[in-house]
Amino acid sequence: MLNIKLLRDNPAFVAERLAVKNFDAKEIVEKVLDLDVKRRNSQTEADSVMAEQNSISREVGKLMKEGNKAEADIAKERVAQLKEISKELEAKMEEYSNELNELILLLPNLPHTSVPSGKTPEDNVVVREGGVMPKLENGIPHWDIAKKYDIIDFDLGVKLTGAGFPVYKGKGAKIQRALISYFLDMNTEAGYTEVQPPLMVNEASGYGTGQLPDKGEQMYHVGLDNFYLIPTAEVPVTNIYRDVILPANEMPVKVTAYTPCFRREAGSYGKDVRGLNRLHQFDKVEIVQVCHPDKSYEALEQMVSHVESIVSALGLPYRILKLCGGDMSFTSALTYDFEVYSAAQGRWLEVSSVSNFETFQSNRLKLRYKDENGKPQLAHTLNGSSLALPRILAAILENYQKADGIEVPEVLKPYTGFSKID
């Protein structure tokens, strides 16, 4: 959530930066500033009424001591009137505050000054590439490989639930478990503390990290209890620190978690949803950091390097992109995407986003740290996928296919207990 002081002091700057995200903020900002003026005017009036009320209340006591009952009664009536006026002003202030906050929640995070302009994924900037492209002759896509070796059953998933809920079987299930364990081990070795959070969150958690109200239609909602199935572990993990003031010497906070993730993916269709390309339920390992504002972009680069080391160790061809304004999320200030090459499909598949949110989430979360003067300040939050499993597995199945089966990446063999899917 953007800071009201920033909106008040630099409305033109806010509108200019949000234009990089192709977001027209002018009308919302004008309404916010109008409500802010009304709220502050009401506050000034309320303070004046309260001061008068306190002064007259003291006068009542003095008049009673002096035996001036008639004047004291008149003063009491005035105090009663002021109390009613005060209640009305408080109700107005609450109304203005609620309307103002609802509007601010509609404003995306400001993009970092290094974010390239652009409207579509084609405008993203490739900053680094790695790995070696496989040489495949007559390669088959992963959904056919899954059927051939009976390791993923998409039809059974449709029977049990619906499209986008595959059933992993045999070595398919084992390689899923292997990837999760490998990713978690890599993260904990890098200093991240592993947690196992709930898979459902309340509304406050959804608002805290910015999924609500922006992405509410993409989340599965449990209406009876008003819970939301998590779209990513980022939501419960970051909300661990909601309403927390961290001592500066405890930062950076580094946490990792594995969870299933649930996304409705409304409007997805065509080749993008084939096989493992886009699912409604999928496994992902996440990394989250909470750090000092002066060090958050250094932390972002460290996170990108860490995720790159994992992808590289899997032996997959990859590239890292800096997202343009039009392709960024609502909450992010700067995002790097990782893509791996799917040899049989002949296309790049996104497997990770690593983002710095600066104070956008922490302002919603009231997540702060104590500075050198002991004063609470908003921390910066970051998160990244390390990694999302479906497309990683798709790329492994396609890129490692041989005539006699699917080879297992060297780093996964200690986790799988087998070296080939056949």
pLDDT for 67 equals 72
Q: Is 89 in the same domain as 196? A: no
Q: Is 93 in the same domain as 133? A: no
Residue 109, domain member (yes or no): no
- What span, in angstroms and rounded, lies between the C-alpha atoms of 330 and 206? 13
Residue 19, domain member (yes or no): yes
Task: Give the CATH number of the domain where residue 369 resides.
Answer: 3.30.930.10
pLDDT for 270 equals 54
Q: Is 171 in the same domain as 54? A: no
Residue 233, domain member (yes or no): yes
Q: Is 128 in the same domain as 93? A: no
| Helices 11-20 + 26-66 axis angle, to 10 | 150
Q: Is 27 in the same domain as 146? A: no
Residue carrying the six token digits 């600066």: 358
Residue 48, domain member (yes or no): yes
pLDDT for 64 equals 74
Q: Is 99 in the same domain as 127? A: no
> Dihedrals φ, ψ of 393, to 5°?
-65, -40
> Dihedrals φ, ψ of 258, to 5°?
-100, 135
Residue 169, domain member (yes or no): yes
Asked if 398 contacts 347 with a C-beta cutoff of 8 angstroms, the reply is: no
Give the tokens for residue 184: 């978690």
Count of C-beta atoms within a 10 Å radius of residue 281: 17
- What span, in angstroms and rounded, lies between the C-alpha atoms of 68 and 60? 9
Handedness of CA 115, 121, 123, 128 (dihedral sign): positive
Number of domains in the chain: 2
Q: Is 159 in the same domain as 61? A: no
Q: Is 191 in the same domain as 334? A: yes
Of 104, 139, 163, the position where a domain reaches its end is 104
Domain that holds residue 59: 4-104
Residue 32, domain member (yes or no): yes
pLDDT for 214 equals 80
Q: Is 136 in the same domain as 245? A: yes
Q: What is the 3-state secondary structure (H, E, C) of the chain?
A: CCCHHHHHHCHHHHHHHHHHCCCCCHHHHHHHHHHHHHHHHHHHHHHHHHHHHHHHHHHHHHHHHHCCHHHHHHHHHHHHHHHHHHHHHHHHHHHHHHHHHHHHCCCCCCCCCCCCCCCCHHHCEEEEEECCCCCCCCCCCHHHHHHHCCCEEHHHHHHHCCCCCCEECCHHHHHHHHHHHHHHHHHHHCCCEEECCCCEECHHHHHHHCCCCCCHHHCCEECCCCEEECCCCHHHHHHCCCCCEEEHHHCCEEEEEEEEEECCCCCCCHHHHCCCCCCCEEEEEEEEEEECHHHHHHHHHHHHHHHHHHHHHCCCCEEEEECCHHHCCCCCCEEEEEEEEECCCCEEEEEEEEEEEECHHHHHHCCEEECCCCCEEECEEEEEEEEEHHHHHHHHHHHCEECCEEECCHHHHHHHCCCEEC
pLDDT for 113 equals 95
Q: Is 355 in the same domain as 259? A: yes
Q: Is 236 in the same domain as 310? A: yes
Of 70, 104, 138, the position where a domain reaches its end is 104
Give the tokens for residue 234: 């980022």
Task: Give the CATH number of the domain where residue 67 resides.
Answer: 1.10.287.40
Residue 113, domain member (yes or no): no
Per-residue pLDDT of the chain (422 residues; tens, 9 = 90+): 899 999 999 999 999 999 999 999 999 999 999 999 999 999 999 999 989 888 888 887 777 777 777 887 788 888 888 989 999 999 999 999 999 999 999 999 999 999 999 999 999 999 999 999 988 878 899 999 999 999 999 999 999 999 999 999 999 999 999 999 999 999 999 999 999 999 999 999 999 999 998 888 899 999 999 999 999 999 999 999 999 999 988 999 999 999 999 999 865 555 578 999 999 999 999 999 999 999 999 999 999 999 999 999 999 999 999 999 999 999 999 999 999 999 999 999 999 999 999 999 999 999 999 998 899 999 999 999 999 999 999 999 999 999 999 999 999 999 999 999 99
Q: Is 313 in the same domain as 361? A: yes
Residue 112, domain member (yes or no): no
